[in-house]
Amino acid sequence: MLAQEIIRTKRDGRALDAAQIEAFVKGLTDGSWSEGQVAALGMAVFLRGMGRDEAVLLTRAMMHSGRVMQWPGMPGPVLDKHSSGGVGDKVSLMLAPLVAACGGYVPMIAGRGLGHTGGTVDKLESIPGYTTTPDPAAFDRIVRTLGCAVIGQTADLAPADKRFYATRDVTATVESVPLITASILSKKLAAGLQGLAMDVKCGNGAFAATPAFARELAESIVAVATGAGLRTRALITDMNQILGTEVGNALEVLETIRYLRGEAREPRLHEVTLALAAEMLVIGNLAPDLSAARTQLQAALDSGAAAEKFAQMVVALGGPADLLDAPAKHLPAAPVVVPVPAPRSGVLTGMATRDLGLLIVEMGGGRRVAGARIDMRVGFSAVRPVGSACQAGEPIAFVHAADKPQAERAVASYLAATQWGDEPPPSTPLVLAEVG
């Protein structure tokens, strides 16, 4: 079956059948489709769309392009969470050990940065020694003994998606509901899950910029997952500002450590973490309702059980044993740190969150081309949230840069991405809707 004829079918707006989708996925896996052909079909789908049946076929084909995990004899439910991507979204890093501390088993197959959003795998790779590609036996053992392991896609797990994902990242074909759905669920289904909580970000820092797009994506994921036998709930959450106070790979690991240790828990970050983790506990029958689940989760945080799970996971995957006690000793730090001064006295009324995510990429904290190396040190810290009242010159964030010229450019770009006024903007609920 000729690749160009499959591309032509979708280019002309017709639905792909099972044989065409299987041929595409085979071409992704064995390399018989060139990068140009993969990009062309991605763009055709982006422009022409895909029906629900096509999305299911693509999801299943990519799921079966490699190994499909099984978890026989697991003493608790196998659960996971996924986010559609945001700026400063490090929820997966704290949520996996938190759910594990409450009796769940979380074999989290995470992704790298995509477009303007950061990637969980990239963040973890800022930890010296941490391997995001353990062999299958080690991954199985760690999940069974500790309750959680957060890794990247191995070569044998949904390999078709891994290649397609990298191509989409650099060809402006990210914001496609069927492609996002198939990418997320092919990995999750291949991980052998029994339940999934989905975080669909919505706002100016999300792929889903509008509530309508976010709901379309949430409903697509829930429908396709449910059709494949995976119990799934989706939350649509606000992404009109940076989540948490730190952005950038090593900085977000540092914020995770402070969160788990109880040293600092930014309210919005804490709320979305608890909301998603509570859904997972209820889906897995580890709690009778969301209220009881939240009580369990808070207890796991307050007792230090979640922090201990994170520490054990880091060691099991090759990281330093004293990371939680001495993060500055291990995490890479930028040589230049400068404040971003408030341009006037008043209230921070908004931020162009996507622009700030792209700024991280421009600083080297994300990829311009597939496979590019990342500067783990760069980013922003002590980010002031929307609604903050500031005096002129007061820091609204700190830029962590590779050198002074980069820092100066980043300060100017950061300020250009902020809006100011004299009155606080209307408050927005963090969880905008629930689906499933």
325 is catalytic: no
201 is catalytic: no
Please, which residues have CB within 8 angstroms of residue 130's CB and are 6 or more apart in sequence? 124, 314, 317, 318, 319
The answer to whether residue 363 scores a pLDDT higher than 70 is yes
User: Quick one: pLDDT at residue 187?
Assistant: 86
187 is catalytic: yes
pLDDT band at 370 (very low <50, low <70, confident <90, very high): low
CA distances 82 to 132, 187, 205, 272, 411, Å, are 17, 10, 17, 12, 31
173 is catalytic: no
State the average pLDDT for the chain. Answer: 94
User: Quick one: pLDDT at residue 360?
Assistant: 95
Q: Exactly one of 123, 168, 258, 261 is catalytic; name it.
A: 168
330 is catalytic: no
End-to-end CA distance of the chain: 38
Token duo for residue 267? 């309210």
Q: Model's pTM, two decimal places?
A: 0.89
Please tell me the number of Cα atoms within 13 Å of 51 on its side-chain side.
Answer: 10
Q: 302: exposed, middle or buried (C-beta count within 10 Å: 0-12, 13-18, 19+)?
A: exposed
Q: How far apart are CA 180 and CA 152, in angstroms?
A: 17
The residue with tokens 């689940």 is 293
Strands annotated E in 248-352: 336-341, 346-351
Q: How far apart are CA 76 and CA 79, in angstroms?
A: 9
Beta bridge partners of 379: 400
pLDDT digits (tens, 9 = 90+) for 271-323: 999 999 999 999 999 999 999 999 999 999 999 999 999 999 999 999 999 99
The answer to whether residue 237 scores a pLDDT higher than 90 is yes
Q: How far apart are CA 289 and CA 287, in angstroms?
A: 6
The answer to whether residue 357 scores a pLDDT higher than 80 is yes
Q: Exactly one of 29, 59, 83, 220 is catalytic; name it.
A: 83
Q: Exactly one of 90, 188, 215, 268 is catalytic; name it.
A: 188
302 is catalytic: no
188 is catalytic: yes
82 is catalytic: yes
CB-CB neighbours of 315 under 10 Å: 16
Residues 318, 323, 329, 334, Cα dihedral to 10°: 90
Q: Looking at residue 78, what DSSP letter applies?
A: B
The answer to whether residue 170 scores a pLDDT higher than 90 is no
Q: Exactly one of 29, 59, 60, 82 is catalytic; name it.
A: 82
Please, which residues have CB within 8 angstroms of residue 281's CB and are 6 or more apart in sequence? 99, 102, 104, 287, 293, 296, 297
26 is catalytic: no
β-pairing verdict for 231-238 and 195-202 = parallel
Q: 373: exposed, middle or buried (C-beta count within 10 Å: 0-12, 13-18, 19+)?
A: exposed
Q: Exactly one of 183, 232, 237, 413 is catalytic; name it.
A: 183
pLDDT digits (tens, 9 = 90+) for 50-76: 998 899 899 999 999 999 999 999 999
CB-CB neighbours of 368 under 10 Å: 10
Q: Exactly one of 60, 90, 187, 400 is catalytic; name it.
A: 187
Q: How far apart are CA 265 and CA 173, in angstroms?
A: 35
pLDDT digits (tens, 9 = 90+) for 83-135: 988 999 999 999 999 999 999 999 998 877 766 887 899 999 999 999 999 99
Q: How far apart are CA 369 and CA 169, in angstroms?
A: 8
> Which residues in 394-421 are b (16+ Cβ under 10 Å) and which e?
ebbbbbbbbeeebbeebbebbeebbebe
pLDDT band at 174 (very low <50, low <70, confident <90, very high): confident
Any idea what the Cα angle at residue 360 is, between residues 355 and 363, rounded to 5°? Answer: 120
CB 152 within 8 A of CB 132: yes
Please name each of the domains of the chain with its CATH number. Answer: 3-49 (1.20.970.10), 79-327 (3.40.1030.10), 332-421 (3.90.1170.30)
Q: What phi and psi values does residue 238 have, to the nearest 5 degrees?
A: -70, 135
Q: Exactly one of 81, 90, 112, 116 is catalytic; name it.
A: 81
Q: Exactly one of 59, 65, 117, 120 is catalytic; name it.
A: 120
Any idea what the Cα angle at residue 403 is, between residues 398 and 409, rounded to 5°? Answer: 65
The answer to whether residue 140 scores a pLDDT higher than 90 is yes
pLDDT digits (tens, 9 = 90+) for 193-230: 999 999 999 999 998 899 999 999 999 999 989 878 89
Q: How far apart are CA 114 and CA 132, in angstroms?
A: 17
